[in-house]
Structure 1
Amino acid sequence: MDVNTTEEQQIESIKAWMKENGKAVVLGAVLGLGGLYGWRYYQGEVQAAKELASEAYTQTVQALDSGSDEAVSQAQTFINDNPSSQYAVLAALQLAKVQVDKGELDAAAEQLNWAISHTEDVALLPVAHTRLARILAAQQSYDNALAELDKVKAESWQGKVAELRGDILLQKGDKSGARDAYISAQQLGASPALQIKLDDLAQ
């Protein structure tokens, strides 16, 4: 506006601008506030869903301690109902453990494969891969078990992986390979039991 414009003219200009643009301003404000409250509502719903999943997971794991068929079914239902939740991955790991204890190795392997395909958690993946390797070795699928161990990349797991590789190679009948794996594990600072395993191989 020109500096010489009178106060009355300025007011008239503002009124005209508001008349022309007022609805858009109000609408923008409404949409902005609506978006803000909508986002807060969404965040609240997400948090509530997480809390419900956490509670359901806790109940599922507690039930699994019994090892009953009903508890296994409950765990599977929880996993099926929450496929995108990390709680479902944890439940699958727990369910696989119960199935191993019951001698249901195929079912346990299926749970672990599901868990591996549904997580990128660097803390959970080594657990799932090594447990699956043990199951495959128990099923005398030694090469597949060793291939599963190759998928564990975490540095902190390399000692455990080398020792488990030695165990699997020994089961396979490859004493030389087992010895090399145990020595590698020993250098990586794995369990004290390694020396006993190496002594047994020397006899």
Structure 2
Amino acid sequence: MSELRTDEEQAEIIKKWWSENGTGLLATAAVAVAGVTGWNYWQDQKVATGEAASATYSQLVELAAQENQDNATEMQALAEQLKTEFASTAYADFGSLFIARLAAQSGDYEAAAAELKTLITEADSGAVKSLAQARLATVLVQLDRADEALAALPPSADAAFAPQIEEARGDALYRKGQLADAREAYQRAMEAARTLGQTNSTLQRKIDTLNTGGEDA
């Protein structure tokens, strides 16, 4: 599968996207509920739930960083906890991303695809949806369903997720044997990554291989 940044790094990207795009939405929501009885209680409960969800997510990320297969069962349980106990928070979506990741790592690409398809349908955040679309395409390529992978990707993406979207597009096009188009997609991914100040050695290797006429991207 394509080399993906850790889920912790992806979470930071989503938080940055939200800070830049979600302020107006938060303000609207605040105005809508201002003055309602129990506002302070609701706010306190929301903060407490968010803190608990964040702690659970942090524990999950720490286990993932250890790259220990023995942690898979505990990681699965924490990811499921994020989805069920903290369904009202953004961390529930991160739980779904982790569940799909664990399924893919175990070779169960069908389960990973199913989880990501559900997340794409239900996610409120455009940022989460973009990330899930990129990962779904990557999983579908592994299942040798390149056409479906291409259909899962948006024609364009928010700049924060363009590297993942375009790299996944390149992988699908490569699998179809459309090498020139794959090279262009990889190059778009690299340009987008550089704009964001990111490096991706795996992506660069894919570009180099195609530039030299190789077949193993």
Same fold (TM over 0.5): yes
1:75 matched residue in structure 2? 79
Helix, strand or coil for the counterpart of 1:201?
Answer: coil
Distance 1:51 1:163 in 2: 34
Q: Work out whether residues 119 and 132 of structure 2, in 8 Å CA contact, stay in contact via their aligned partners in 1.
A: yes
**Which segment drifts farther, 68-77 or 104-113?**
68-77
1:85 matched residue in structure 2? 89
Q: CA deviation at 1:97?
A: 1.4
Q: Work out whether residues 129 and 149 of structure 1, in 8 Å CA contact, stay in contact via their aligned partners in 2.
A: yes
Distance 1:51 1:187 in 2: 36
Tell me the C-alpha RMSD between the 2 structures: 3.1
Q: Work out whether residues 130 and 149 of structure 1, in 8 Å CA contact, stay in contact via their aligned partners in 2.
A: yes
**Which segment drifts farther, 86-95 or 104-113?**
104-113
Distance 2:164 2:48 in 1: 38
1:42 matched residue in structure 2? 42
| Structure 2 unaligned residues grouped into runs of 5+ | 1-34, 195-202
1:170 aligns with 2:178: no
Structure 1 runs of 4+ with >6 Å offset: none
Answer with 1 or 2: which has the greater Rg. Answer: 1
Tell me the number of residue pairs that the alignment of Structure 1 and Structure 2 aligns.
Answer: 169
Q: CA deviation at 1:107?
A: 1.6
Distance 1:157 1:42 in 2: 33
TM-score normalised to structure 2 length = 0.62
What percentage of residue pairs aligned between the two structures are identical? 29
Write the letter of the residue equivalent to 1:146.
L
Distance 1:67 1:122 in 2: 30
TM-score normalised to structure 1 length = 0.66
Choose which of 184, 204, 208 in structure 2 pairs with 1:196.
Answer: 208
Q: CA deviation at 1:86?
A: 0.7
Q: CA deviation at 1:165?
A: 1.9
Distance 1:46 1:186 in 2: 39
Deviations 1:124-154 (A, max 9, x none): 2222111110001110111110111226521
Q: Work out whether residues 67 and 98 of structure 1, in 8 Å CA contact, stay in contact via their aligned partners in 2.
A: no
Q: CA deviation at 1:180?
A: 4.3
| Structure 1 unaligned residues grouped into runs of 5+ | 1-34
Q: Work out whether residues 179 and 201 of structure 1, in 8 Å CA contact, stay in contact via their aligned partners in 2.
A: no
Distance 1:98 1:120 in 2: 22
Distance 2:124 2:95 in 1: 16
Helix, strand or coil for the counterpart of 2:52?
Answer: helix
* Higher RCO (C-alpha 8 Å, min separation 6): 2
Write the letter of the residue equivalent to 1:168.
A
